Structure 1
Amino acid sequence: MAKIALGSSREAAQLDCIKALVIEFIATFLFVFAGVGSAMAADRLQAPALVGLFAVAVAHALVVGVMISAGHISGGHLNPAVTMGLLCGGNITVFRSILYIIDQLLASSAACFLLQYLTGGLATPIHTLGIGVSYMQGIVWEIVLTFSLLFTVYATIVDPKKWAQAAQGPILTGFVVGANILAGGAFSGASMNPARSFGPALASWDWTDHWVYWVGPLIGGGLAGFIYENFFIVRTHVALPTNEDAF
């Protein structure tokens, strides 16, 4: 059973943590900039719904794959749900995960405010539930979609016996993000990422259904991390230093 290490505030002063936070901010910023930017471009061009959805899915698939690779120093989480999944699998401390999530939210917000400025004040499209989709349905959609995302992350990147080579894991993760947007975009919005939803909501100051995009992804990500780490990975060493407090 994976242990969840608490960590300590000393981590914030460590050079490797500082570098990781800087890289995580940059990678998340660029991911959200391209992802939200593609949605804004589709709206501006008044693309048909299906064409717009496909364009947004492709943009997210491409930028996710690239930014996970580019952000390898931090692990390229880009997403509080990914951080939660790795935390539940014992691959990151509680303290560092909190720093990562704050970092991701700040990066997403900065990207969305910059997009508003660069587009002359266009609204940043927020994630909302589709017509006729209840809160419970939306949460389940987000749980399933985020579970598939974290399952892919663990299977292709985290698992030491992964089939995929180092360069393939991020690409395959991008593919599943794109596929999930095509599958769930019309229903829940297919966020899978609280930070990706937070930035546009803050910039537009529209919090409609926003809580759904925290509850669903964090449950789905945490569940996938816990299940994969404890049932499918066999480690010959602990994931985190043994001198960390754990429970």
Structure 2
Amino acid sequence: MAPRTTFIVAFQQSVTSKALRSYLAEFISTFIYVFVAAGSAMSSRKILPDARSDPSSLVVIALANGFGLSSAVYISGNISGGHVNPAVTFAKVVGCHIPIPTALFYWISQIMGSVMACLVLKITTVDHNVVTHKIAAEMTGFGAAILEGVVTFGLVYTVYAASDPRYGQLGSIGPIVIGLISGANVLAVGPFSGGSMNPAYSFGAAVVGGSFRNQAVYWIGPLFGAATAGLLYDNVVYPPLESDPPCEGGRV
């Protein structure tokens, strides 16, 4: 099939009623996750006298990230796959699981959900600013990108393992495990790079918070880490068998 024809077919598959429901699910789940994650960062700064140096602030944010992501993945998993993250979507495209047009619509939905969540927080809290992701003063952008890539690798690798049908139906356990690795990653690198692992979250906070400093860190690192995790899982650690069904949609 010619590339142009393939693209047209993929685009048609991306505008069906089922696909539109998936985009709505991604918007809602991303909104919920970012609202909880960004809101917890704002709440910790309001409640704690010196949230930036108080370790309990990091624990609060990590717990909120874990609980929020688990819930977001669970409510959208059966509709859109529960990506809630452009990095996860990117890995699925690179791994030939979803077509490019569908992935682009996923990205738009996720980014819009993130921006709306941060905007609601900004408007309703009046004098409080949305907390943007920042890297530690002693770190370089390259080092922060590496950290974000590593933690996103862990997150996406967990997403693949938790949603692999060859393991059997994990039900609610899968989203819980995904939430656990997310919270653990925030505890591990939060003070250094912010522990975003989600370009949509970082972008939404930057748009509403008014600071795009080091924004490339939260795109390049997570996208590279996610693609590496997906390719490693699909082709090395747990390669598909000849009896497995072909990739959905294919690459275009």
Q: Which residue of 1 aligns with 2:245?
A: 237
Cα distance in 2 for partners of 1:177, 1:69 equals 14
Cα distance in 1 for partners of 2:233, 2:206 equals 32
Secondary structure in 2 aligned to 1:131?
coil
Contact 1:156 1:164 in 2 (8 A): no
Cα distance in 1 for partners of 2:158, 2:14 equals 29
- Higher helix fraction: Structure 1 or Structure 2? 2
Q: Which residue of 1 aligns with 2:199?
A: 194
Deviation at 1:11, TM superposition (A): 2.9
**Equivalent pairs: percent with the same residue?**
33
Q: How is 1:71-82 mapped onto 2 (pairs within 5 angstroms)?
A: 71-72=76-77, 73-82=79-88
Q: Which residue of 1 aligns with 2:161?
A: 155
Supply the RMSD in Å over aligned alpha carbons. Answer: 1.6
Give TM-score scaled by structure 1 length: 0.92
Pairing 1:13–2:15 present: yes
Contact 1:27 1:71 in 2 (8 A): yes
Deviation at 1:66, TM superposition (A): 1.0
Q: 2:170 aligns with which of 165, 168, 172?
A: 165
Deviation at 1:88, TM superposition (A): 1.6
Greater displacement, 80-89 / 7-16 = 7-16
Q: Which residue of 2 aligns with 1:226?
A: 231
Q: Which residue of 2 aligns with 1:116?
A: 122
Pairing 1:70–2:78 present: no
2:46 maps to a residue whose letter is R
Cα distance in 2 for partners of 1:164, 1:188 equals 34
Secondary structure in 1 aligned to 2:165?
coil
Q: 1:207 aligns with which of 208, 212, 215?
A: 212
- Which digits, 9 at most, give the CA deviation of each residue in 1:181-208, with x for residues without a partner? 0000011111100001011100011011
Cα distance in 2 for partners of 1:140, 1:179 equals 17
Cα distance in 1 for partners of 2:218, 2:235 equals 26
Unpaired runs of 5+ residues, structure 1, are none
- Which digits, 9 at most, give the CA deviation of each residue in 1:159-196, with x for residues without a partner? 22227722211100000000000000011111100001
- Which digits, 9 at most, give the CA deviation of each residue in 1:46-103, with x for residues without a partner? 2452111100000010111111010120111111001011112211111100110111
1:19 maps to a residue whose letter is R
1:30 maps to a residue whose letter is I
Secondary structure in 2 aligned to 1:71?
helix
Deviation at 1:130, TM superposition (A): 0.9
Deviation at 1:156, TM superposition (A): 1.3
Equivalent pairs counted in the alignment come to: 239
Cα distance in 2 for partners of 1:123, 1:224 equals 34
Q: Which residue of 1 aligns with 2:110?
A: 104
Cα distance in 2 for partners of 1:143, 1:187 equals 13
Q: Which residue of 2 aligns with 1:60?
A: 65
Cα distance in 1 for partners of 2:140, 2:169 equals 37
Secondary structure in 1 aligned to 2:240?
coil
Q: Which residue of 1 aligns with 2:3?
A: none
Contact 1:156 1:163 in 2 (8 A): no
Q: How is 1:86-105 mapped onto 2 (pairs within 5 angstroms)?
A: 86-105=92-111
Cα distance in 1 for partners of 2:106, 2:206 equals 20
Q: Which residue of 2 aligns with 1:32?
A: 34
